[in-house]
Structure 1
Amino acid sequence: MNRNYAFLLIFFAFAACENKECEIDPEIAAIPMEVSIERKEVPLFESTTSGEVRAFLEGNPTLADYFLDANQYPSDSVLANQMIRLIPHLDSLQMEVDRKFGDISWLESQYVSAFQHLKYYYPAAKTPKVQTMVTGFYRDIYFSDSLLVIGLDFFIGNDSKYKPDNVPAYIARRFKPDYIVPASFFFLSDYYNKVDYGDNTLLNEMITAGKTYYFTERMVPCAPDSIIIGFSEEELREVHKNEDVVWANFVQNQLLYETEPKLINKFMGERPNVYEIGEKCPGRIGAWVGWEIVRSYMENNPKVTLQELMEEDDPKKIFTLSKYRPNPH
């Protein structure tokens, strides 16, 4: 799973919970779990020769192949030579990462809680190794069932003088330390979210996104909705205030079963605003509506488990049984 400039959402915090219930179930908190984060950027930046970098790559093959894309180079030596030339230019970036992430015990604690939730809902789930890396904004997160790699340079915050190039402000505002754990579980949801890829409707896209958000919500239950969806708090207030207007746009324009990719992208893709609905309507509004539909489905069908939800790939069934109605304002 490789996504650059990930959909950096979600914030795991016990303060500022937007009135959500943040008390963790004692049964979940009692699940044995240990997470020790390996700072892989440290030995890499201590390398002084291409041979040492090559040894690093050979000693970390999964990280090399899937986070650094070593398999796209003719040999590890070619990548090692390129990296040893790059390392001196990343020195000050690495120093800023060290200042921001000198102590990561808080991050380990957050991963412990999130993986406890995963183990609760999916007892057979593996807990992957967790590693960090600094690449000069090459990749933010890689997640598999055995390894999670975090590009810390992506998460040093908006107050840093170092930022990825050509990233709009409405996306860049998500590049903060608090997003690391929730963004990781956004990626992880792909392993559990069954999707009918033959269904090209907007509704399928909406429900798929809604299931992803709902999964993340269950893994990091104290996450504010504004961060889960990647909206500002003001944007979230506006969409709730105008939920009936948003929904009317989808219904009146018969959008739910639309299959035209460009039109679907208007409501599901990254945009500062969905002007077709209103100047204050944030991008990915269809994903937010999908999340509300999935929430309504789970509320109105209390016997459905999280596992059953994630296995359900019939968006029309979820929509129908959700009995979704927007809150009138």
Structure 2
Amino acid sequence: MNTKSLHFILTLSCGLFLLSSCGNTQEKCELDEKILDVPIDLSIVRLEKQFYTASTEEEFLFLLEEYPDFAKDYLEVELYESKEQLAQELMFINQDTLMQELYAEVQENYPDLNQLDQDLSHAFAYIKYHFPDFNTPKVYTFLTGFSNDLYISDEMIVIGLDYFLPKEHEFQPTDLPRYISDRYDREYIVPMVVTAISSKYNKVDPKQNTLLAEMIFYGKAYHFTKSILPCTADDFIIGYTSEEVVACFANEEFIWSHFIENDLLYETNPFEIRKYTGEAPATDVISQDAPGRVGRWLGWNIVDDYRFNNDISLDELMEMEDVEKLFRQSGYKPRQ
């Protein structure tokens, strides 16, 4: 074991101690009632129930007519010779034994969507409060056969509920490594949706292609999500375990020194950048025990400090494209 790994493991032990002493802080959080009063018209439509109980071509054709946005943008009906051809393919999928088993499991694990409806309504109210131009999209749930976890546009959101079965469930997406599939649980649905929506407001300068620019982009995305979901634990926003979050804070000075000593902030090589912000089980160039995407986590801290140390609203933050100015004015220093 190298020295870097040993250092990270030792401070992970300290992190676990910190976690046990502050694990209940999230329970004390309260949402802003003034923001929750922002009117939001949300109704989640469970399309998996309608499509997986249909049995005739006529019923499928009716559904395609009833939900034209879903048929056009999600099912991509225009790629088929006719709606009848798409209806026949949907019938074939519907009759598959494994798909019916998967549908039954989704219904058992999601007998209702009351909590999801409430959480999305609160999130949309917060977004509308900070960004008055936000319009509540239509929200559908569906059974995708592990082909699409989330579809998000300004007008429509489709949630593939099969992706969000319990992580120990026998049905799991086969094309994802475990360190990614572990994030696909019900607690992650709303943070994933909000983070995706953040891209609409997250302005960037395309000429800035440094590691710092990518760190700040993700930092703004996570800061947006935390601002919209203030009572959601960091774990569900960045996709780390609680232990990894606390260990990262315990090792923040160690992580930051790696970036500074190796002159990484203005690195432009995409292969080098990916080592620190790309999906991976670990950021092993720092330590085999450092979680992957640690550059994104560090960018989040920089953005948090910038917002804390400057009188700036969330919409102004998201509009800011000057990465260098944001970094300089953040006053960022690793937590002690």
Tell me whether the two structures share a fold, i.e. TM-score over 0.5. yes
Stretch of structure 1 that moved more, 22-31 or 111-120: 22-31
Residue 225 of structure 1 corresponds to which residue in structure 2?
Answer: 234
Residue 192 of structure 2 corresponds to which residue in structure 1?
Answer: 183
Is structure 2 residue 239 aligned with structure 1 residue 195?
no
Q: Give the drift of 1:116.
A: 1.2
Q: Give the drift of 1:198.
A: 2.1
Q: Within 2, Cα distance between the matches of 1:209 and 1:288? A: 8
What is the alpha-carbon root mean square deviation over aligned residues?
A: 1.6
Contact preservation (8 Å) 1:137, 1:164: yes
Residue 69 of structure 2 corresponds to which residue in structure 1?
Answer: 62
- SS of equivalent residue, structure 2 residue 139: strand
- SS of equivalent residue, structure 2 residue 305: helix
Contact preservation (8 Å) 1:17, 1:224: no
Contact preservation (8 Å) 2:150, 2:158: yes
Is structure 2 residue 164 aligned with structure 1 residue 155?
yes
Amino acid at match of 1:48: S
Distance 1:274 1:38, change over 3 A: same
Is structure 2 residue 98 aligned with structure 1 residue 87?
no
Deviations 1:23-49 (A, max 9, x none): 111211222334221111112112223
Q: Which protein has the larger Cα radius of gyration, Structure 1 or Structure 2?
A: 2
- Within 5 Å, which residues of 2 pair with 1:236-247? 236-247=245-256
Stretch of structure 1 that moved more, 30-39 or 66-75: 66-75
Residue 51 of structure 2 corresponds to which residue in structure 1?
Answer: 44
Is structure 2 residue 311 aligned with structure 1 residue 325?
no
Residue 315 of structure 1 corresponds to which residue in structure 2?
Answer: 323
Q: Within 2, Cα distance between the matches of 1:192 and 1:22? A: 26
| Structure (1/2) with the larger helix percentage | 2
Residue 17 of structure 2 corresponds to which residue in structure 1?
Answer: none
Residue 5 of structure 1 corresponds to which residue in structure 2?
Answer: none
Stretch of structure 1 that moved more, 235-244 or 81-90: 81-90
Residue 171 of structure 1 corresponds to which residue in structure 2?
Answer: 180
Contact preservation (8 Å) 1:128, 1:147: yes
Deviations 1:174-209 (A, max 9, x none): 111111111111111111111112211111100000
Q: Within 1, Cα distance between the matches of 2:133 and 2:118? A: 21
- Within 5 Å, which residues of 2 pair with 1:27-38? 27-38=34-45
- Within 5 Å, which residues of 2 pair with 1:242-253? 242-253=251-262
Q: Within 2, Cα distance between the matches of 1:82 and 1:62? A: 18
Q: Within 1, Cα distance between the matches of 2:80 and 2:331? A: 52
- Structure 1 stretches lacking a partner, 5+ long: 1-15
Q: Give the drift of 1:20.
A: 7.3
Residue 306 of structure 1 corresponds to which residue in structure 2?
Answer: 314
The normalised TM-score by structure 2 is 0.88
- SS of equivalent residue, structure 1 residue 265: helix
Q: Give the drift of 1:238.
A: 1.3
Aligned residue among 237, 254, 273 for 1:264: 273
Deviations 1:237-293 (A, max 9, x none): 211111011111111111111111111111111100011101111111110000000
- SS of equivalent residue, structure 2 residue 222: helix
Distance 1:307 1:140, change over 3 A: same
Contact preservation (8 Å) 1:17, 1:222: no
Q: Within 2, Cα distance between the matches of 1:83 and 1:68? A: 10
- SS of equivalent residue, structure 2 residue 279: coil
Q: Give the drift of 1:214.
A: 0.6
Residue 206 of structure 1 corresponds to which residue in structure 2?
Answer: 215
Amino acid at match of 1:55: F
Distance 1:234 1:200, change over 3 A: same
Q: Within 2, Cα distance between the matches of 1:118 and 1:44? A: 31
Is structure 2 residue 297 aligned with structure 1 residue 288?
yes
Contact preservation (8 Å) 2:106, 2:165: yes
Residue 24 of structure 1 corresponds to which residue in structure 2?
Answer: 31
